[in-house]
C-alpha cells in the first residue's frame, strides 16, 4: 500500500486515514527490512528511523534556539516579527506534513480528521500568540506519530518473523552439479539438495528414503516429523538429520507458507464488530466535539462578565487537541492484529479480527471425529468374507476401488492389501457422500462403504452391524454381499486435555460423525464429550448444528473443512484441522489449526477473549483520560501539555497494551 493509494479510494470516508497512513509507513519499513537480509538491514533500519525523526529533530533544535534567544540572551534585534519568524521555522518541519494531510482529507470530504483538528488547534494557538505551545504540541504529536509507526512496524515484523522462515536461496542439482540459485528462480520439477540444518525454500516431493524435519515455522510445533519417499514436504521445514533431495512441485510464490503469509497479511482487512463500531463512532464523535469546542469558545460571551476571547479560544483549542480519536483508531486495529500474531505463534491461522471476536463468544464446539479428535491413521483389524467369495480377487477389487478415494480409511486398506493391481479396469466410478464408493468392473457392480450403502442398493446381508464396535467397511460385488473389514483409529494424544480445557472455559462439546454410533460413543465417552451423534450424513450434520444454533448457542465447527463444507458455512466459526496438508482447508475455514492439535481450539478461544479484553481496556483508557482532560480543559485548568498527553500519550500507552498480547503465554 503506497501513501498515494490512501487518497485514491473514491467514495470512501477517510475517518481512518491516520490508521492507514501509519500502516502504510509500517509497510514501507517491512519492505525495506525484507530486501536487506544480508547483514546490513540493521544499519539501514537505523537510518530509516533517523529519517522519520529528522523533522522532529530539526524542529526541536530551532525551537530551543528561539527560546534561548527570547528568554536568556534577549538581543535587541530579536523583536516580535523575528520571534514569529523563528517559531514559524520551528513549526514548518513538523506542522506542514500534518496540514498537507489535513488538506487531502478535506478534499475527500472528511473535514474532521485528526490532521484537521491538530492543524486548527496549532494554527489557532499561533493566532493568539501562544507560539511555543503551538510548536511544542505539533512537535510532540509528530514524535508520537513516529513511535506509533514504529510500534505497528514492530508488530507486523514480529508476525512476519514468526512465519516467513524461507531462505532466499536454494541448492539445485543441474547437470549433476549442485548450484546455489535464488529460490524465486527455481522451476517446478527441479531437484533441490537440502543439507542438515538447512531450511527448505520451496514445496516439493521428498525423493530421499526418509528425513526428519522440524516443522515449527509452519505448525508452531518443534517436535521432529519424519517424512518418507514420495511424501510432500513444505517450504520452511528444517532438515534435522541427513542430506535430502526434494523435487519441486510449486513455485516459490505459490508455496503453502506463501499462502499462509498472504492470509495473515490480509487478515487485517477483516474488521471485527468492535473495530467497525469505533470507526463509525469516530465519524460522529469528532464532529460533535468540534461543535462543543465552538460553543466553548463563543457561548461564554453571553454568560461570563469578563469575557476574554483569547482565553476561551485557548480552552477550545485544548478541547480540539484532546478530541482526536488517535488512541482508538490505531490501538484497536493493532490489538486485533496482535491477536492474529499471537495465534500465528501457536500454529493457528486466524483470517481476521472478526473471527477473534466470534471465537471468544463460542458456547458450543461441535467437532468431527476422524482427523479431528483421532489421528485419522486407520489400521485394518479384521476381515470377514462370505464362504463362496474368492478372498484374493475381492480384496484386489476393493483396493482398486478405494484407490480413487483420499479418505484415511482408503489408505488403511491400501496398507493392508498392498499395491493396486493396475490391470483392473474400473468404469463409472462414483463417490456417494456419506455412503462410500461405487464402480463397474467388466459391467459388474462393486460397492465399498458402510452398510447403509448396501441398503441403498438393495444388497441383503445377515450381519448385525450395530454389534460391531469398530468402523466397518462393507463390500458387495455383482449384486451380492461379499464381506466386510473392521478398521480402528487412535485418539490423539492431547484430545482428552483439549476437551477438559474447553469445559474449563465453560464451552460445551458435541461430536458429529458419519462413523458408526458405537465408535462415536466409545470415543466421546473416553474423552468426556457432552453430546455425540453417529451414522450421520452431511445433511444430518447440518440439521444437528441448526438445532444447536436455534437453542441460542453460538457454534464453532471443527473438521476437515472440505467434506464438511455445508456445516463449516453454517457455523458461526469454521475451524479446520490439517491445514498443513490441504490447500482446500486453508481456503474454506475461518480458522486453521496448522499442527492438527485439538488443544489449539481452547488456545484460540483464549486468544480471542484476551484480544477482546485488551481492546476494551484501550477503549476505557482512551475515553476515561480524554473525558477527564476535556473537563479540565473546559474549566481552564488543563493546558496544551495535558492535551498532548491525552492524545499522543494515551495513544502510545494503548498501543503498548495492544502489542502485549503477542508476548502472552496461552497454555
Phi/psi at 531 (5° precision):
-135, 150
* CATH of the structural domain 379-488, one choice from 3.20.20.450, 3.10.290.10, 1.10.760.10, 3.40.1110.10: 3.40.1110.10
Strand (E) or helix (H) holding 276: helix 273-298
Which comes out higher in pLDDT, residue 33 or 661?
661
Mean pLDDT of 134-141: 82
| pLDDT category of residue 351 using cuts at 50, 70 and 90 | confident
Confidence (pLDDT) at 122:
82
**45-54, 304-313, 405-414, 522-531: least confident range:** 45-54
Confidence (pLDDT) at 141:
78
Confidence (pLDDT) at 43:
42
Residue 38 has pLDDT above 70, yes or no: no
Residue 159 has pLDDT above 80, yes or no: no
Of 550, 517, 542, the C-alpha closest to 531 is 517
Domains of the chain: which residue ranges?
A: 4-162+264-338+610-662, 169-254, 347-374+493-604, 379-488
Which comes out higher in pLDDT, residue 655 or 391?
391
Mean pLDDT of 223-246: 85
Q: The C-alpha cell of 129 is what?
A: 500568540
Instruction: Identify the top-confidence range among 112-116, 208-212, 409-413, 478-482.
Output: 478-482
Residue 247 has pLDDT above 70, yes or no: yes
Residue 105 has pLDDT above 70, yes or no: yes
Residues paired with residue 432 on neighbouring β-strands, in sequence order: 436
Confidence (pLDDT) at 129:
78
- The three state secondary structure string of 617-648 is HHHHHHHHHHHHHHHHHHCCCCCHHHHHHHHH
Confidence (pLDDT) at 498:
94
Mean pLDDT of 255-280: 62
| pLDDT category of residue 266 using cuts at 50, 70 and 90 | low
Which comes out higher in pLDDT, residue 380 or 347?
380
C-alpha span between 606 and 504 (Å, rounded): 11
Residue 172 has pLDDT above 90, yes or no: yes
C-alpha span between 505 and 460 (Å, rounded): 48
Phi/psi at 519 (5° precision):
-70, -45
Q: The C-alpha cell of 22 is what?
A: 501509519
Residue 147 has pLDDT above 70, yes or no: yes
Within 13 Å and on the Cβ side, how many CA atoms surround 244? 33
Q: The C-alpha cell of 564 is what?
A: 464438511
Confidence (pLDDT) at 149:
72
Residues paired with residue 227 on neighbouring β-strands, in sequence order: 211
- Name the catalytic one among 368, 489, 564, 595: 368
**101-105, 462-466, 506-510, 522-526: least confident range:** 462-466
Name the 3-class secondary structure at 191: strand
Strand (E) or helix (H) holding 312: helix 309-323
Helical H segments across 478-516, by residue range: 495-504
Confidence (pLDDT) at 502:
96
C-alpha span between 564 and 295 (Å, rounded): 59
C-alpha span between 138 and 169 (Å, rounded): 46
- How many CB atoms within 10 Å of residue 306? 5
Residues paired with residue 180 on neighbouring β-strands, in sequence order: 171
C-alpha span between 123 and 600 (Å, rounded): 53
- The three state secondary structure string of 152-166 is HHHHHHHHHHHHCCC
Class of the 347-374+493-604 domain? alpha beta
Confidence (pLDDT) at 655:
78
Residue 586 has pLDDT above 70, yes or no: no
Residue 441 has pLDDT above 90, yes or no: yes
Handedness of CA 578, 580, 583, 588 (dihedral sign): positive
CA trace torsion 571, 573, 574, 577 (10° rounding): -140
Instruction: Identify the top-confidence range among 18-22, 170-174, 278-282, 350-354.
Output: 170-174
- Residue 564's contacts (CB-CB under 8 Å, 6 or more residues apart) are 368, 538, 541, 557
| pLDDT category of residue 440 using cuts at 50, 70 and 90 | very high
Mean pLDDT of 643-654: 77
Give the largest CA-CA distance in the chain: 120
**112-121, 144-153, 163-172, 359-368: least confident range:** 144-153
Confidence (pLDDT) at 548:
92
Confidence (pLDDT) at 474:
93
368 counts as catalytic: yes
Confidence (pLDDT) at 446:
94
Could you tell me where the beta strands, DSSP code E, fall in 386-425? none
CA–CA distances in Å: residue 133 to residues 245, 261, 317, 434: 67, 45, 11, 73
**89-103, 113-127, 440-454, 571-585: least confident range:** 571-585
Phi/psi at 379 (5° precision):
-130, 135
Residue 17 has pLDDT above 50, yes or no: no
C-alpha span between 402 and 420 (Å, rounded): 9
Report field, pTM of the whole predicted structure over 0.85:
no
Of 181, 247, 244, the C-alpha closest to 213 is 244
- How many CB atoms within 10 Å of residue 428? 9
Q: What is the mean pLDDT of the chain?
A: 80
Start-to-end Cα distance in the chain: 36
Determine what percent of the chain is predicted with pLDDT higher than 90: 23
| pLDDT category of residue 39 using cuts at 50, 70 and 90 | very low
Q: The C-alpha cell of 147 is what?
A: 513511535
Mean pLDDT of 336-347: 82
| pLDDT category of residue 133 using cuts at 50, 70 and 90 | confident
CA–CA distances in Å: residue 302 to residues 288, 299, 373: 21, 6, 73
Residue 230 has pLDDT above 80, yes or no: yes
Mean pLDDT of 445-472: 87
**What is the topology classification, in CATH, of domain 169-254?**
2.70.150
Mean pLDDT of 291-317: 88
Amino acid at each position: 500500500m503506497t501513501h498515494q493509494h490512501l487518497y485514491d479510494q473514491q467514495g470512501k470516508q477517510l475517518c481512518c486515514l491516520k490508521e492507514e497512513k501509519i500502516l502504510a509507513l509500517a509497510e514501507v519499513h517491512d519492505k525495506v527490512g525484507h530486501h536487506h537480509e544480508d547483514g546490513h538491514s540493521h544499519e539501514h533500519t537505523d537510518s530509516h528511523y533517523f529519517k522519520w525523526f529528522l523533522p522532529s529533530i530539526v524542529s526541536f533544535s530551532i525551537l530551543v534556539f528561539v527560546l534561548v534567544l527570547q528568554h536568556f540572551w534577549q538581543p535587541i534585534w530579536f523583536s516580535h516579527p523575528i520571534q514569529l519568524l523563528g517559531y514559524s521555522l520551528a513549526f514548518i518541519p513538523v506542522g506542514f506534513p500534518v496540514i498537507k494531510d489535513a488538506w487531502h482529507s478535506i478534499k475527500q470530504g472528511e473535514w474532521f480528521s485528526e490532521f484537521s483538528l491538530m492543524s486548527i488547534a496549532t494554527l489557532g494557538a499561533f493566532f493568539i500568540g501562544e507560539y511555543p505551545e503551538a510548536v511544542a504540541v505539533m512537535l510532540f504529536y509528530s514524535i508520537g506519530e513516529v513511535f506509533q509507526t514504529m510500534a505497528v512496524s514492530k508488530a507486523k515484523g514480529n508476525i512476519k518473523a514468526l512465519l516467513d522462515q524461507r531462505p532466499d536461496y536454494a541448492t539445485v542439482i543441474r547437470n549433476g552439479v549442485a548450484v546455489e540459485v535464488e529460490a524465486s528462480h527455481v522451476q517446478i520439477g527441479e531437484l533441490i539438495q537440502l543439507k542438515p540444518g538447512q531450511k527448505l525454500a520451496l514445496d516439493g516431493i521428498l525423493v530421499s528414503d526418509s528425513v526428519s524435519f522440524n516443522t515449527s515455522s509452519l505448525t508452531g510445533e518443534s517436535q521432529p516429523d519424519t517424512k518418507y519417499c514420495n511424501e510432500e514436504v513444505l517450504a520452511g521445514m528444517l532438515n534435522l538429520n541427513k542430506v535430502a533431495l526434494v523435487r519441486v512441485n510449486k513455485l516459490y510464490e505459490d508455496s503453502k507458507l506463501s499462502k499462509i503469509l498472504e492470509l495473515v497479511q490480509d487478515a487485517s482487512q477483516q474488521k471485527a464488530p468492535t473495530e467497525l463500531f469505533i470507526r463509525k463512532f469516530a465519524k460522529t464523535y469528532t464532529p460533535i466535539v468540534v461543535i462543543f469546542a465552538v460553543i466553548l469558545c463563543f457561548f461564554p460571551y453571553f454568560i461570563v462578565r469578563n469575557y476574554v476571547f483569547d482565553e476561551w479560544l485557548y480552552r477550545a483549542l485544548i478541547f480540539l487537541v484532546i478530541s482526536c480519536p488517535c488512541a482508538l483508531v490505531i490501538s484497536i486495529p493493532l490489538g486485533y492484529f496482535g491477536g492474529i500474531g499471537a495465534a500465528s505463534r501457536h500454529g493457528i491461522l486466524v483470517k481476521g479480527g472478526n473471527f477473534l471476536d466470534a471465537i471468544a463468544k463460542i458456547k458450543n464446539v461441535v467437532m468431527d471425529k476422524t482427523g479431528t479428535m483421532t489421528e485419522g491413521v486407520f489400521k485394518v483389524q479384521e476381515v470377514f468374507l462370505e464362504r463362496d467369495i474368492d478372498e484374493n480377487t475381492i480384496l484386489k477389487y476393493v483396493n482398486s476401488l478405494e484407490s480413487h478415494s483420499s479418505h484415511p480409511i482408503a489408505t488403511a486398506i491400501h496398507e493392508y492389501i498392498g499395491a493396486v493391481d493396475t490391470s483392473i479396469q474400473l468404469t463409472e466410478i462414483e463417490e456417494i457422500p456419506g455412503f462410500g464408493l461405487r464402480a463397474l468392473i467388466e459391467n459388474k457392480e462393486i460397492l465399498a462403504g458402510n452398510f447403509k450403502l448396501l441398503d441403498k442398493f438393495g444388497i441383503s446381508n445377515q450381519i448385525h452391524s450395530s454389534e460391531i464396535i469398530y468402523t466397518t467397511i462393507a463390500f458387495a460385488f455383482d449384486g451380492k454381499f461379499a464381506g466386510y473389514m473392521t478398521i480402528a483409529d487412535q485418539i490423539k494424544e492431547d484430545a482428552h486435555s483439549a476437551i477438559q480445557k474447553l469445559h474449563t472455559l465453560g464451552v460445551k462439546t458435541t461430536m458429529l460423525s458419519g462413523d458408526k454410533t458405537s465408535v462415536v460413543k466409545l470415543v466421546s465417552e473416553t474423552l468426556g464429550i457432552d453430546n455425540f451423534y453417529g451414522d450421520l450424513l452431511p445433511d444430518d450434520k447440518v440439521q444437528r448444528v441448526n438445532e444447536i444454533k436455534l437453542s441460542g448457542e453460538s457454534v464453532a465447527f471443527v473438521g476437515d473443512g472440505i467434506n464438511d463444507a455445508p456445516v463449516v458455512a453454517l457455523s458461526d466459526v469454521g475451524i479446520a484441522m490439517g491445514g498443513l496438508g490441504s490447500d482446500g482447508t486453508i481456503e474454506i475455514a475461518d480458522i486453521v489449526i496448522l499442527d492438527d492439535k485439538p488443544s489449539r481450539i481452547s488456545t484460540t478461544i483464549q486468544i480471542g477473549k484476551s484480544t477482546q479484553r485488551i481492546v476494551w481496556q484501550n477503549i476505557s483508557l482512551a475515553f476515561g483520560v480524554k473525558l477527564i482532560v476535556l473537563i479540565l480543559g473546559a474549566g481552564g485548568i488543563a493546558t496544551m501539555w495535558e492535551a498532548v498527553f491525552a492524545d499522543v500519550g494515551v495513544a502510545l500507552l494503548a498501543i503498548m497494551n495492544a502489542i502485549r498480547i503477542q508476548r502472552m503465554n496461552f497454555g
